[in-house]
Amino acid sequence: MGKPMKTAVFVSGGGTNLQALLDSIENGVIKSAEIACVISNKKDAYALERARKAGIPAKAITENFEAEALSFMKECGVELIVLAGFLSIIGKGILSAFKDRIINIHPSLIPSFCGKGYYGLHVHEKVLSYGVKLTGATVHFVSEEVDGGVIIMQKAVEVRHDDTPEVLQKRVMEEAEWLILPRAVELVAAGKVQTKGRMAVISE
C-alpha cells in the first residue's frame, strides 16, 4: 500500500461525519487516506473544534472561498476532497482542479429527496411528509449537477410512522452516514473505485 492519500474535509456544521472519518482512521477502517486539513465556510462550525482536538490544520474561510481554499489545499498537498455536512456549492475552480476527486455524503437515497433545497433536516421532513418506508444515505462523486454525480455507495434505513425529522436524521446518521462515508473514502483512496458511465465498479 502506498502513502495514504492527503485528504481535505469540507464542513459547515456539527462535524459528526468528520468525527466518523477521524474515528475510522484511528480504528483502521481507513488506511489509505489521512486528513491533511479541515475547511469550513462557517466560522462557528463545531467541526472546526473536532479538527483542532485531533491536531489537524483547520481553517474557516468566509470570503473568496474558492481561491482561499485552493491555496490552503495546495499548501497541505491535498489530493482528495470529502464534503461532510458541507452546505455550499462547489465552484468550477475546485471542480476542475479536483476532477473525479471530490466525494459527498447526502442523507437520502439519491435520486430521491435531493437537489436544490434538500439539505439537513429538510431532507427528513420531506421523507416523512411523503410517507416512504425506506430512506438512507448516499456517497457520490461531486459533479456540476448538485447531488447528480456517480453514486459510489448507498445504505437503506427504515422509516418509522412515529419518527420526527430529528429522530430520523439521527438514525440515518448512525445506521448509514457514519458507516458508508468512511468505507467509501477508503475505497476511493485505495483506488478501488472505477466508473463505467454512471456505474461505479468497486473492486474489493
Residue 14 makes contact with ligand GRF by CB under 6 A: yes
In Å, how far are 30, 49, 150, 163 from 41, measured between CA atoms?
Answer: 25, 14, 25, 31
Rank residues 75 and 166 by Cβ distance to ligand GRF and give the closer one. Answer: 166
Residue 120 makes contact with ligand GRF by CB under 6 A: yes
Q: How far is the CB of 112 from ligand GRF (least distance, A)?
A: 15
Q: Catalytic annotation on 124? A: no
Segment lying near ligand GRF (by CB under 6 A), choices 6-14, 32-40, 61-69, 146-154: 6-14
Q: How far is the CB of 85 from ligand GRF (least distance, A)?
A: 3
Residue 91 makes contact with ligand GRF by CB under 6 A: no
Residue 4 makes contact with ligand GRF by CB under 6 A: no
Name the active-site residue from 106, 124, 140, 161: 106
* Separation CA 9–CA 13 (nearest Å): 12
Residues 172-201 that bind ligand GRF (CB under 6 A): 173, 177
* Separation CA 43–CA 96 (nearest Å): 26
Long-range contact pairs involving 140-143 (C-beta distance under 8 Å, separation at least 24): 140/103, 140/104, 140/106, 140/110, 141/100, 141/102, 141/103, 141/104, 141/195, 141/200, 142/81, 142/83, 142/90, 142/95, 142/102, 142/103, 142/104, 143/95
Catalytically annotated residues = 106
Applying CB under 6 A, which residues contact ligand GRF?
11, 13-18, 47, 84-85, 105, 107, 120, 169, 173, 177
